[in-house]
Structure 1
Amino acid sequence: MNLKAKITELATALLPDESYFLVDIQVSESRIKSKVTILLDSDAGISIDECAALSRELGRQLEELNLFENAYTLEVSSPGVDFPLTQTRQYQRNAGRKLRVQFLDGGEKMGTLNAVTDSTITLTTDGTKKEPSVDLVIPYSEIKKAQVLVSFK
């Protein structure tokens, strides 16, 4: 089992309940100082205290198992608004919000996320004087990147 898989296994076992999920785990190994970054979320959002608790316990286990020969940095946080949506649960949590969706073919659409299934999202585009709003059913397989658009109105 590789290092990332082992860390994923350990971190998953530490999640408080099924409403919590791992968004991303990145491991950059180095002879000087390796870095482990874990992005954690839950269906109801996540607090800094919850991230800190997971970080403390995971750090303790990593030390016990001696997975790193040299020094390492462990970073546990929630994905920021600039982090692209990658999982169905993230899309579900952001239903009703504005998204920018970039397609694998280079195209891009913006609109309101109205529905989420296991294989698609439905985006309602903003209407203009020239084009009415439309509902686009978009398969995940066609999405290169989807990000929540933050409004400061």
Structure 2
Amino acid sequence: MALNIAQQTEEFVTPILEELSLELVDIVYEKEGPNWFLRVYIDKDGGVDIEECGLVSEKLSTKLDEADPIKEAYFLEVSSPGVERPLKKSEDFEKHVGHHVYVKLYEPVAGEKEFTGDLTHFENGYATIQYKEKNQKKEVEIPFDKIAKARLAVTFD
């Protein structure tokens, strides 16, 4: 059910975002305690501000009220993905080459299931990450289809 709601929400929000030159990062429909939350994460180069989030929320809320695809009561939240933005699509990886990332895999590559390092390349369905292991720089090439979860990672140098 949650996937269907996320897909329907994407259909409603995409034209709104296109009109405002904003990008859809992710949609999450989840239960926390007794409450349901529909969270829509948006972005653009340079980041989004609270006014843009509010405008998208207002327009999306109207569309959702008209179509009424969600039967239970829920809270709608529209926000920036934050500094640890998730990387979901291959386009996200292409756009964030040169950034510090955290990647968790479905199955091990080079004996590991998690990597934190610099995304140095993304080409032909493979992400190349340069990371440190015991003060040595190493590089790993990860097939995109083995990535379970990925996000930008904050560094404190």
Q: RMSD between aligned alpha carbons?
A: 3.0
Q: Which runs of 4+ in 1 moved over 6 A?
A: none
- In structure 1, the partner of 2:115 is 109
1:65-90 Cα deviation digits (max 9, x unpaired): 34445643111112233454222233
Higher strand share: 2
Q: What's the offset of the Cα at 1:150? A: 0.9
CA contact (8 A) 2:25 2:86 kept: no
- Please give the TM-score of this superposition, normalised by the length of structure 2: 0.73
Q: 1:21 aligns with which of 20, 23, 31?
A: 23
Give the 5 Å matches for 1:49-60. 49-60=51-62
Give the Å deviation of 1:140. Answer: 0.9
* 1:126-145 correspondence runs (5 A): 126=132, 131=136, 133-145=137-149
Q: Counterparts of 1:144 and 1:67 in 2: how far apart (Å)?
A: 28
TM-score, normalising length from structure 1? Answer: 0.74
The structural deviation recorded for 1:34 is 4.3
Counterparts of 2:117 and 2:30 in 1: how far apart (Å)?
35
Equivalent position SS for 2:60: helix
5+ residue gaps in structure 2? none
The number of equivalent residue pairs is 148
* Rg larger for: 1
Distance 1:18 1:91 in 2: 23
Q: Which structure 1 segments of 5+ residues have no match?
A: none
